[in-house]
Amino acid sequence: MKLWQKDSTVISDKIQQFTVGRDREFDLLLAKYDVQGSLAHTAMLEQVGLLPGNEYVLIKKELEAILDEIAAGSFSLQEDVEDIHSQIELMLTERLGDAGKKIHSGRSRNDQVAVDLKLYLRAEVLEIKDAALTLFDLLLQLSNEHKDKLLPGYTHLQLAMPSSFGLWFGAYAESLTDDMQLLLTSYNMANKNPLGSGAGYGSSFPLDRTLTTQLLNFGSLHYNSIYAQMSRGKTERFVAIALSSIAATLSRLSMDVCLYMNQNFGFITFPDALTTGSSIMPHKKNPDVFELIRGKCNRIQSIPNELALLMANLPSGYHREMQLTKEILFPAIEDMKACLEMAVLMLAQITIKDDILADDRYKYLFTVEQVNELVNQGIPFRDAYKQVGMDVENGTFAFTGSLHHTHEGSIGNLCNDEIKEVMDKVTNGFSLP
């Protein structure tokens, strides 16, 4: 029997399989959050007089026991049970009898799923925040350590101007500060309580939704019961947008790494234990980790669009395709965490070549420096530009000066302390539950 069945009519196996889909698989990730929601809900039911105190004590004890089973890895969904909500109610009913049947008063599976997702996404966003912050700290550390090591800068993949590893690492650190802003927005959306909205239209029971908000440590309440359900899909999409932004940063960083490892560049290397070889070419050291980070992160960037299309043109109210958000977003969250972890593992062991720009092939990186030298001597910029351009054309260009970059954000003034202040301000916005 399903929670929604009124009699013992047998449900078609094909209908069952199609409508449940992969929910059972992903529901295990929601198990502890479903129990937490039930603990808050039943505490509220007892407070408003809808659940006798003695029964609440028994229910609370068994729910806490189920939490322990989940933590120990001994919890599972029975084969004939539809979802996590059914499993927990079944376990309570088996252990407590009629008292277990009372926990659903004043709520629907719709708001159960909604609160589970909010709690899950809030926790996962915090994990991703911590992982991204670890990468950020490493990038700033590497930027400061290698600030004096020069690196060719490119535009259109052509030699442009001198850069540095300090500037390069710092660029991706600052990129993460913007990504974190989006992650904070998604966190604030996930940190709202939909419990008590029922199927989207509230309840005639005198529910105390402010109490469950406090018990679940939510930052605020989804006040309108219809919008509480409409936030399904929207919350997931905002989380996906934040993941997509981090993924774009990681993907671009990975592409740079793959280029800089190439023998034609030869700017950086990694230990053999972190690279792979070829079955036929004994000289190969392949950047497989960064190629996979690039591929996974490019795929993550498609997730917001997939969620937007899934939810397109839906009227208000609950619709069954909303359950598909789990199989779209949950694997992306795991991929995001893995990519951040692997990026830290790899970059912590990077080796950077010294004196890269001493190679004569990079001499044209200094044409702008020579133009600026002439301008400092009083020559108009356009005349200086033309003079240096003719030297390049004639093969007589040479630069013997020194680099002197001092403005904010240049190779001589990385502003890493300021970037760190920006990140600290953003991360302080995450109110930990």
| List 76, 278, 316, 431, catalytic entry | 278
Instruction: Give the position of tokens 């919350």.
Output: 235
Within 10 angstroms of residue 372's Cβ, the number of other Cβ atoms is 16
The catalytically annotated residue of 156, 204, 279, 407 is 156
Separation in Å, CA 22 to CA 26, 76, 326: 7, 15, 9
**How many residues appear in the chain?**
433
**Torsion sign over Cα 7, 13, 15, 17:** positive
296 and 343 in contact (C-beta within 8 Å)?
no
Radius of gyration of the chain (CA): 29
Q: Is 278 a catalytic residue?
A: yes
Nearest CA to 225 out of 110, 310, 103 is that of 110
Continuous segment of H or E residues that includes residue 40: helix 23-47
Separation CA 370–CA 400 (nearest Å): 9
319 is catalytic: no
Integer angstrom CA distances of residue 91 from 3, 30, 111: 13, 16, 20
Report long-range pairs for 304-308 (Cβ below 8 Å, ≥24 apart).
304/237, 304/240, 304/241, 304/244, 307/233, 307/236, 307/237, 307/240, 308/237
Query: Which residues are CB-neighbours of 82 under 8 A, at least 6 positions away?
Result: 2, 3, 20, 23, 24
Q: Cβ atoms within 10 A of the Cβ of 258, count? A: 17
Give me the active site residues, please: 156, 278
